[in-house]
Amino acid sequence: MKNFLQFLFFVIVVRPVLLVILGMNVRGREHLPKKGPAIVVANHNSHLDTLTLMALFPLKDLHLLRPAAAADYFLANKWLNWFASTIINIIPLARGAVRKNPLADLEDALDRNEILILFPEGSRGEPEQRADFKRGVAYLAKARPDVPVYPVFMHGLGKALPKGSLILVPFTCDVIAGAAISWTGDAQSFMGVLETRMGELASEGHFQPWE
């Protein structure tokens, strides 16, 4: 039932909104993982980011996609909890919690050959402005060094549905997926490669500054 509800939501709601109301320009789709385990890493400006990334994958693979999300936000009330757990299939992360291994749930998902969706910036930033990535993704890559990491840059979603807004604005949005990168041997060099690759993907779009 869970997989069926998720399938219906993406067919009836998500795909029509992204393809008809907004319009999506997708480049590099061939770089996206065809199977797990894998880690998809993207910039974060909107609640649409997760749905957009999930919509890039075949419908038959939706059950493999596991976005990491803040437990204190998405599990805050009954209905949002149900939606996040059932339709989005999130892995809830407790921000600020002290655990022996805070990445354990993410590592377990990779061990089940699932595809993680991570936003290393943390919370959503200002529309179309990138923030520095936090190092959690590097520690996860270190823990599972054979798992490829796929960078994806998104543009326009921060204007279509910015932080704090409930009104969808029909901006055309762009998604640029890059080739996978691998664990480099230490966190600093890995983050450097990841940040550089994201900057390169952003440059490929030749995006003009927002007015």
The answer to whether residue 209 sits within a structural domain is: no
- Smallest CA-to-CA distance from 154 within 91, 210, 201 is with 201
The number of beta carbons lying within 10 Å of the beta carbon of residue 39 is 25
Long-range CB contacts (< 8 A, 24+ apart) of 129-135?
Answer: 129/45, 129/158, 130/43, 130/198, 130/202, 132/195, 133/41, 133/191, 133/194, 133/195, 133/198, 135/187, 135/191
117 is in which domain, residue-wise?
2-204
The answer to whether residue 211 sits within a structural domain is: no
SS3 22: helix
Amino acid making up residue 197: R
Amino acid making up residue 27: R
Structure confidence at residue 211 (pLDDT):
44
The answer to whether residue 168 sits within a structural domain is: yes
Structure confidence at residue 123 (pLDDT):
63
Cα(168)–Cα(149) distance, rounded to whole angstroms? 30
- What is the tally of structural domains in the chain? 1
Structure confidence at residue 64 (pLDDT):
97
Per-residue pLDDT of the chain (211 residues; tens, 9 = 90+): 888 999 999 999 999 988 888 888 999 999 999 999 999 999 988 888 999 999 999 999 999 999 998 777 676 788 888 999 999 999 998 766 566 788 999 999 999 999 999 999 876 555 566 778 889 999 999 999 999 999 999 998 888 877 766 677 777 889 999 999 999 999 999 999 999 999 999 998 777 664 4
Distance of CA 155 to the CA centre of its chain: 13
Cα(157)–Cα(170) distance, rounded to whole angstroms? 9
Q: What is the largest CA-CA distance in the chain?
A: 46
The answer to whether residue 36 sits within a structural domain is: yes
| pTM score, whole prediction | 0.91
Q: Integer distance in angstroms from the first to the last C-alpha of the chain?
A: 45
Q: What is the CATH number of the domain that holds 52?
A: 3.40.1130.10
Structure confidence at residue 126 (pLDDT):
58
The answer to whether residue 128 sits within a structural domain is: yes
The answer to whether residue 13 sits within a structural domain is: yes
The answer to whether residue 194 sits within a structural domain is: yes
The answer to whether residue 210 sits within a structural domain is: no
